[in-house]
């Protein structure tokens, strides 16, 4: 059986079989892949920790008849600073699920992999993990070619500077009053939050604070639901638990 060496970040996991886990990683070598970790649900298994989201590891992946199996895993880091902070951990798991929802499988992209490693580092060091999450999400939208307009009209490019802005991720972002009829799925949104997101997208790193932070988080959630075509359940949980 062929075996390959992979380095990757665990994004999500799901239980399979009697004691196994199907683990999805974004790897440096092959992009997003899913491998089965045999016995990873057994308390005594060395694979218990390796199968957890927010774990950077190296592993050997061996091809079976229908699946790939992981062996010889070595954890590089499990980001202890993130795991020691409950809010930061919830945000980090939400980020991993979002990345899984937005990225295709088996499309190698070393630049994107390097972005992920840097992004988790920013999440670990950000003064406010939610601001770090939003900064990373905005970069993620851009890299996936889905970045919406937040402070300018998607149709005419007019700069919007009002307390309420018509916003529709499905139709491309923000709309001025003259063109909001082009986005019937839109909602009237907090203008200060959207303008803050536009400013955040231009930052080289996450700032300590963001004006109208909570409203901005809900706007990012709205975008993720649209772009991934489903609810990011861990993000919904994190929002309900911490905002």
Q: pLDDT tens across 203-242, in order? A: 999 999 999 999 999 999 999 999 999 999 999 999 999 9
pLDDT at 1 > cutoff 60: no
Tell me the domain boundaries of the chain. 3-77, 80-242
Within its chain, how far is the Cα of 204 from the centroid? 18
Partnered with residue 187 across adjacent β-strands are 167
Residue 161 pLDDT class (50, 70, 90 cuts): confident
Q: What's the pLDDT band for 3 if we cut at 50, 70, 90?
A: confident
Q: Give me the mean pLDDT over the 22-40 stretch.
A: 95
The mean per-residue pLDDT over the stretch 6-26 comes to 96
Q: What is the pLDDT of residues 53-109, one digit of tens each?
A: 999 999 999 987 678 999 889 999 999 999 999 999 999 999 999 999 999 999 999
Assign domain 3-77 to a CATH class: mainly beta
- Reading the block at residue 220, the tokens are 């990012």
pLDDT tens-digit map of 130-155? 999 999 999 999 999 999 999 999 99
- What is the mean predicted confidence (pLDDT) over 16-43? 95
Contacts of 111 (CB under 8 A, 6+ apart): none
CA distance 51 to 62: 16
Condensed to tens digits (0 to 9), the pLDDT of residues 163-202 reads 999 999 999 999 999 999 999 999 999 999 999 999 999 9
Beta-carbon contacts of residue 212 (< 8 Å; ≥ 6 apart) = 190, 192, 193, 196
Task: Note the pLDDT of residue 64.
Answer: 74
Are 62 and 133 contacting, i.e. CB atoms less than 8 angstroms apart? no
Q: How many helices (H) and strands (E) does the chain have?
A: 8, 8
Q: What is the pLDDT of residue 72?
A: 87
| Tokens, residue 120 | 């988790």
H or E element at residue 76: strand 68-77
b/e 76-101 (16+ beta carbons within 10 angstroms → b):
eebbeebeeeeebbbbbbbbbbbbbb
* Domain spanning 80-242: CATH 1.20.1440.120: yes
């Amino acid at each position: 059986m062929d075996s390959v060496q992979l380095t990757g970040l665990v994004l999500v996991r799901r239980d399979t079989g009697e004691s196994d886990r199907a683990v999805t990683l974004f790897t440096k070598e092959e992009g997003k892949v899913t491998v089965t970790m045999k016995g990873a649900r057994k308390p005594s298994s060395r694979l218990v920790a390796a199968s957890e989201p927010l774990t950077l590891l190296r592993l050997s992946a061996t091809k079976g008849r229908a699946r790939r199996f992981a062996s010889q895993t070595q954890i590089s880091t499990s980001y202890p600073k993130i795991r020691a902070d409950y809010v930061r951990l919830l945000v980090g798991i939400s980020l991993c699920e979002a990345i899984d929802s937005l990225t295709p499988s088996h499309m190698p992209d070393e630049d994107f992999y390097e972005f992920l490693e840097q992004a988790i580092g920013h999440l670990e060091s950000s003064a406010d993990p939610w601001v770090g999450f939003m900064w990373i999400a905005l970069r993620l939208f851009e890299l996936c070619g889905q970045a919406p307009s937040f402070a300018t009209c998607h149709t005419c490019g007019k700069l919007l500077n009002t307390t309420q802005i018509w916003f529709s991720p499905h139709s491309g972002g923000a709309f001025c009053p003259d063109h909001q009829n082009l986005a019937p799925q839109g909602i009237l949104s907090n203008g200060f939050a959207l303008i803050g997101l536009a400013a955040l997208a231009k930052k080289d790193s996450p700032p300590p604070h963001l004006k109208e932070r909570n409203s901005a988080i809900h706007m990012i959630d709205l975008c993720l639901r649209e772009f991934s075509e489903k609810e990011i359940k861990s993000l919904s949980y994190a929002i309900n638990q911490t905002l």
